[in-house]
Structure 1
Amino acid sequence: MPYVKIDMLEGRTPDQKAALARAITDAFVEHAAAKRESVWVVFDDVARKDWAIAGELLEKPAK
């Protein structure tokens, strides 16, 4: 059972997530011989205040 967990910044629409889930599932079916019904895709939306790059939060805390 392929399980794909995607952590990404919040803000994508349900339609965008649905398109991503279809594309990821299609890729597993085509390239990894997976059965469509066995592919799980989970989105974890992360707030900008909870994401840091190079040691810096994307959303700076209020002073």
Structure 2
Amino acid sequence: MPIATIKILEGRTEEQKRALVAEVTGAIHRTIGAPVENITVIIEDMPKTNYAVAGILASDKKPL
């Protein structure tokens, strides 16, 4: 029973999350042969105030 945990920054749509879990489930199924019905995907939304890269909080970064 494979379990994949994916941590992403908050703000993704439900549709994006649906696509993500479908792709991850398919990748696990194809690569290790686990039955789709046995694959669990957990998405953990992280607040931007709880994530930093190079000493800068994601909440402090300016959008591109």
Please classify the TM superposition score into its range, dividing by the shorter chain length: 0.7 to 0.9
What TM-score does the superposition give when structure 2 sets the normalisation length? 0.84
What TM-score does the superposition give when structure 1 sets the normalisation length? 0.85
Q: Which residue of 1 aligns with 2:54?
A: 54
Q: Which residue of 2 aligns with 1:36?
A: 36
Q: Which runs of at least 4 in structure 1 moved beyond 6 Å after TM superposition?
A: none
Identity %: 37
Q: Which residue of 2 aligns with 1:26?
A: 26
Q: Any stretches of 5+ residues in structure 1 without a counterpart?
A: none
How many residues align structurally?
A: 60
Q: Which residue of 2 aligns with 1:11?
A: 11
Greater Cα radius of gyration, structure 1 or 2? 1
Displacement of 1:37 after TM fit?
0.7
